[in-house]
Amino acid sequence: MASSSKGSSKKRGRAGGAGAASSSAENEGTDVKDTLRIKITSMGEGGVGKSCLIKRYCEEKFVSRYIATIGVDFGVKPVEIDGHDVKVNFWDLSGHPEFFDVRNEFYKDTQGVLLVFDVTQQHSFEALTGWMEEAKKYGVGRDTVWVVCGNKVDRSQRQVSKTVADDWAKSQGFKYFETSAKEGQSVDKVFQYLFQKVVQKVTSRH
């Protein structure tokens, strides 16, 4: 998601409450609802399909805003998870090295991580450990829910097998999904799983 051409925002995203888990009462007419806000951060090398996965999941309901100067795409998506109204704050971080310094500012308060590699690019798989280390170093806590996506499974030139990726994810305690942002394979499943796990953690603390 590194190029500024990706900033096809329809409206400005709302940055309020984008950090820690928060619950806000929103007055909509006579309706007063508790809304959970959760922060999801995507990580992985540039070009593996992070932005496409998020956009595929969110479709036209996604309100995003690309901040070119810092290489971050931010968006909000309302969803309902286990009876809770949830506003998902997506922070889609650029994988490109030139954004290293600013990227580090966005790890704090992350509750769910979408860790993505491209199954046709071995180096993008090997880079996952580095992403984890960077994220942990700059504030992603032990309580955070991680999912690993092997993306672009629609392509034939595969370099990373499902077994190898699944074993690695398991060894880290993460769940592994094989996805195609292009064809939609498992995209809903990944996000549903991630949001549910985060919401369960957040609500169990209250």
Angle 1-48-126 from CA coordinates, rounded to 5°: 125
Q: CB-wise, 92 or 109, nearer to ligand GDP?
A: 92
Which residue type sits at 119? Answer: V
Q: Taking CB under 6 A as the criterion, which residues in 39-68 touch ligand GDP?
A: 44, 46-52
Q: CB-wise, 19 or 46, nearer to ligand GDP?
A: 46
Contact string 62-101 vs ligand GDP (x = CB under 6 A): ---------------------------------x------
Quick one: 116 exposed, middle or buried, by C-beta within 10 A (0-12, 13-18, 19+)? buried
Question: CB of residue 179 vs ligand GDP: minimum separation in angstroms?
Answer: 7
Return the CA Rg of the chain: 16
Q: What is the dihedral of CA 52, 4, 37, 58, to 10 degrees?
A: -30
CA end-to-end span of the chain, whole Å? 35
Q: Taking CB under 6 A as the criterion, which residues in 130-159 touch ligand GDP?
A: 151-152, 154-155
Q: CB-wise, 109 or 118, nearer to ligand GDP?
A: 118
Contact call for residues 91 and 110 (beta carbons, < 8 A)? yes
Q: CB-wise, 50 or 202, nearer to ligand GDP?
A: 50
Question: CB of residue 180 vs ligand GDP: minimum separation in angstroms?
Answer: 4
Q: How far apart are CA 112 and CA 121, in angstroms?
A: 24
Q: Taking CB under 6 A as the criterion, which residues in 164-183 touch ligand GDP?
A: 180-182
Q: Residue 105 gets which letter from DSSP?
A: G
- The residues of the shown chain that bind ligand GDP, judged by CB under 6 A, are 1-2, 44, 46-52, 95, 151-152, 154-155, 180-182
